[in-house]
């Protein structure tokens, strides 16, 4: 029995990756619709500060990552509305500044060694059963919030003014969306790393846009595209001994290129 379980060790990272892709697809669709790709990238880069905080204070790194992403998301939301700079300029400044501050802080910490390559590019094959359970619980909660607030999120994405007229709490829904994105970024960092996490949000959703006729179709196809990318990426990692996280992103990019060659439909 023990030998069988050892032979099936790859199921844990595979299931973790598929579960993560199942939620990054729908959330990534909102990222594409709202043109928030830089937002996810900024959260990922800023999460390195969470790693630094967790390492220096001996706090669980997953918890530190989640908290840092949530705090940064809540700070960015009002800053985007009040800053005189354009949104992409502000996010670019915050993104690179927080990444640099985190790297400098880690380099100054005496006697502390951190696998920076693992956090920058992820290590899907190192995922353990505890990580799988954490991701499964988080994905279930995120799906619950998304399904229960689907109409409001969609309405506020199409037009925040019309959504407010229809009685939807637009500000609360915007906060909910960025908090869900923050949690997903924290979860995805173990899989694909800081530098590639926004790709897992954006590329499957962009792929789905070529095939979908309705928003519902787009989120389903995006989730399927992300899951297929995980399967292909892990297969490539085993076949050619390539890093799993980047291999998943390369597979996602390949699916996107194929979508560009497909007959065009009305995009959502």
Q: Right CATH number for 2-261 from 3.50.50.60, 1.10.3470.10, 3.30.930.10, 3.30.300.160?
A: 1.10.3470.10
What is the reported pLDDT for 95?
Answer: 81
Q: How confident is the model at residue 173 (pLDDT cuts 50, 70, 90)?
A: very high
**Which of these ranges, 25-39, 61-75, 133-147, 176-190, has the smallest mean pLDDT?**
61-75
Whether residue 232 is predicted with pLDDT greater than 50 in this model: the reply is: yes
The DSSP secondary-structure symbol of 247 reads: H
Distance CA 21, CA 15 (A): 10
Tell me which of 267 and 152 has the higher pLDDT.
152
> How far is the CA of 116 from the CAs of 1, 178, 217, 228, in angstroms?
36, 26, 38, 27
Give residue 7's pLDDT band: very low, low, confident or very high (50, 70, 90).
low
Average pLDDT over residues 216-234: 94
Q: What is the mean pLDDT of residues 43-68?
A: 78
Q: Quick one: CA torsion of 162, 32, 227, 152, rounded to 10 degrees? A: -10
**pLDDT tens digits for 239-264?**
898 888 889 999 999 999 999 887 66
Q: Up-side HSE of residue 140: CA atoms within 13 Å toward CB?
A: 6
Confidence bin at 3 (pLDDT 50/70/90): very low
Does 266 have pLDDT greater than 60? no
pLDDT interval class at 81 (50, 70, 90):
low
Terminal-residue alpha carbon distance, the chain:
49
pLDDT digits (tens, 9 = 90+) for 158-168: 888 989 988 89
Give percent above pLDDT 90 in the chain: 32
CB-CB contact of 25 with 143 (8 Å): no
Could you state, in order of their start, the residue ranges of all structural domains in the chain?
Answer: 2-261
Residue 152 has pLDDT above 90, yes or no: yes
42: its two tokens: 């900024």
Looking at per-residue pLDDT, the higher value among 131 and 228 belongs to 228
């Amino acid at each position: 029995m023990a030998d069988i379980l050892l032979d099936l060790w790859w199921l844990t990272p595979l299931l973790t990756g598929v579960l993560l892709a199942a939620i990054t697809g729908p959330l990534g669709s909102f990222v594409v619709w709202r043109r928030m790709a830089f937002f996810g990238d900024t959260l990922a880069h800023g999460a390195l500060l969470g790693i630094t905080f967790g390492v220096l204070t001996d706090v669980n790194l997953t918890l530190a990552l989640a908290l840092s992403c949530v705090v940064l998301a809540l700070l960015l939301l009002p800053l985007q509305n009040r800053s005189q700079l354009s949104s992409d300029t502000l996010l670019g400044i915050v993104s690179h500044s927080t990444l640099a501050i985190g790297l400098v802080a880690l380099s100054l910490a005496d006697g502390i060694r951190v696998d920076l390559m693992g956090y920058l590019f992820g290590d899907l094959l190192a995922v353990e059963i505890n990580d799988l359970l954490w991701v499964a619980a988080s994905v279930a909660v995120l799906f619950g919030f998304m399904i229960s607030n689907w109409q409001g999120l969609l309405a506020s994405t199409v037009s925040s003014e019309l959504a407010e007229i229809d009685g939807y709490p637009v500000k609360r829904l915007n906060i909910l969306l960025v908090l869900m994105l923050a949690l997903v970024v924290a979860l995805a960092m173990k899989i694909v790393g800081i530098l590639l996490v926004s790709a897992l949000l954006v590329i499957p959703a962009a792929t789905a846009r070529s095939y979908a006729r309705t928003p519902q179709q787009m989120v389903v196809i995006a989730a399927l595209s992300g899951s297929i990318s995980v399967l292909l990426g892990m297969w490539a990692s085993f076949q050619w001994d390539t890093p799993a996280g980047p291999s998943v992103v390369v597979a996602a990019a390949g699916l996107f290129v194929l979508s560009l060659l497909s007959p065009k439909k009305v995009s959502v």
